[in-house]
């Protein structure tokens, strides 16, 4: 089930308490075990040429009902995998930093993928979507 971390939900709600919500420079990560809204970290891929990648989102627009969404406008490319295949990626997460940082949103991948040595993992423009209701 997709979600938004509790920490980020709290930051959004704290706007109502007069606390400013500043913009972030988002990075996308891949997970072999999905994280959770409750702060469970999941298992991010690591090593063998893997690194979080920068993501650029377009303007928010309607998805369905009361749901709004944003999608990536850039091609996001991970890899190539070097030295060994990566573990199967089953989820992605949006962070506010290229390393460490805070998980903001996450979701499972429609099609899990093993990035084999010499291959890339990627999201075409418009294929990575984050929703908010």
pLDDT tens-digit profile of 67-91? 888 999 999 999 999 999 999 999 9
Pairing type for strands 121-123 and 103-113 reads unpaired
Distance CA 113, CA 52 (A): 16
The number of folded domains in the chain is 1
Name the pLDDT band for 1 (thresholds 50, 70, 90): very low
Do residues 82 and 64 touch, judged by C-beta distance below 8 A? no
Could you tell me if residue 133 is inside a domain?
A: no
Q: Tokens 């920490």 map to which residue?
A: 7
pTM: 0.88
Range of the domain at 87: 3-17+25-57+71-115
Examine residue 124 and state whether it is found in any structural domain, yes or no.
no
Q: Taking 70 as the threshold, does the pLDDT of residue 10 lie above it?
A: yes
Assess whether pLDDT exceeds 70 at residue 4.
yes
53 three-state secondary structure: strand
**3-class SS of residue 128:** coil
Q: Is residue 130 part of a domain?
A: no
pLDDT band at 31 (very low <50, low <70, confident <90, very high): very high
Q: Note whether residue 120 is domain-resident.
A: no
Is 132 inside any structural domain? no
Q: What is the pLDDT of residue 48?
A: 96
In a domain, 52, yes or no: yes
Q: What is the pLDDT of residue 83?
A: 95
- Across the strands, what pairs with 93? 29, 106
Whether 65 maps to a domain, the answer reads no
DSSP secondary structure code for residue 96 in this structure: S
Question: Of 8-12, 55-59, 117-121, where does mean pLDDT reach its minimum?
Answer: 8-12
Q: Is residue 131 a part of any domain in this protein? A: no
């Amino acid at each position: 089930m997709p979600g938004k971390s509790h920490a980020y939900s709290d930051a959004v709600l704290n706007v109502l308490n007069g606390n400013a919500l500043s913009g972030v420079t988002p990075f996308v990560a891949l997970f072999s075990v999905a994280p959770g809204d409750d702060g469970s970290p999941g298992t991010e891929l690591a090593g063998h040429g893997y690194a979080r990648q920068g993501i650029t989102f377009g303007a928010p627009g309607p998805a369905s009902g009361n749901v709004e969404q944003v999608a990536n406008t850039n091609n996001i490319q991970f890899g190539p995998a070097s030295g060994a295949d990566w573990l199967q990626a089953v989820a992605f997460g949006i962070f506010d930093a290229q390393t460490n940082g805070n998980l903001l949103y996450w979701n499972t991948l429609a099609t899990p993928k093993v990035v084999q040595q010499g291959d890339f993992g990627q999201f075409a423009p418009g294929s990575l979507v984050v929703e908010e209701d």
